[in-house]
Amino acid sequence: MSDYKVIAEVGETLANVLWLEIQSDPDLFALINSASLISLESPAEHQNNNDTALLSIYLYRITEDPFMKNQYAGQGSGGKTKRAPMALDLNYLITPLLKAPRDQQIVLGKIMQVLYDRPSLEGADMAGTTLGTTGEKLRVLFNPASLDDIARVWDALETAYRLSICYTVRVSMLDSKQEQAQQRVVGSQFGYGQGNVPVPPV
């Protein structure tokens, strides 16, 4: 399972995977020629950027996965039980901040192709010290958010709308630090015929 660093490392994983694919494609490398041009900052941070190209992978919303919420407690230390990990859905707004509209569409097309072909990220894909050692898989899902939902995100960023797409990364397992001691059952008691229920005479 994963500790609190997992949220940051998921974003780094996405950036690394996309950069590996971009640099191996001459047409894409001509548009984005450095890993430093892939940013985890919001597109609003770069609305006045002077770079000829920039790709924003912005984490704009975190929710708890409802399908993984009621898991059983796991094994803790010293015979204790441990709360089940928190399952997260991380929602990303991916925006190519290139100058030419055609170049923006080319970059988005490549991103969608890469994440369609690789809906699960694992093993060598993982960035950081937490994800890289857990053996966990990340599921990457295209999120067809409505225009109204996307417009609300851009309104919150207080910047003009740019062509963008949304993806959800599911599930990042955030470990709990709470443990509870278990008490062994040392005896039992049966009370058949006791209480207020009368026992018929024999």
Q: Is residue 33 part of a domain?
A: yes
Number of domains in the chain: 1
CA distance 191 to 12: 61
Q: Is residue 55 part of a domain?
A: yes
pLDDT confidence bin for 2, thresholds 50/70/90: low
Q: Is residue 142 part of a domain?
A: yes
Amino acid, res. 91: N
Q: Is residue 187 part of a domain?
A: no
Q: Is residue 183 part of a domain?
A: no
Strands (DSSP E) contained in the chain are 38-39, 55-64, 74-75, 81-82, 86-96, 120-121, 138-142, 165-174, 179-180
pLDDT confidence bin for 59, thresholds 50/70/90: very high
pLDDT of amino acid 171: 75
pLDDT of amino acid 129: 75
Q: Is residue 125 part of a domain?
A: yes
Q: Is residue 73 part of a domain?
A: yes
Query: Mean pLDDT over residues 174-186, rounded?
Result: 54
Q: Is residue 101 part of a domain?
A: yes
Domain that holds residue 39: 6-175
pLDDT confidence bin for 81, thresholds 50/70/90: low
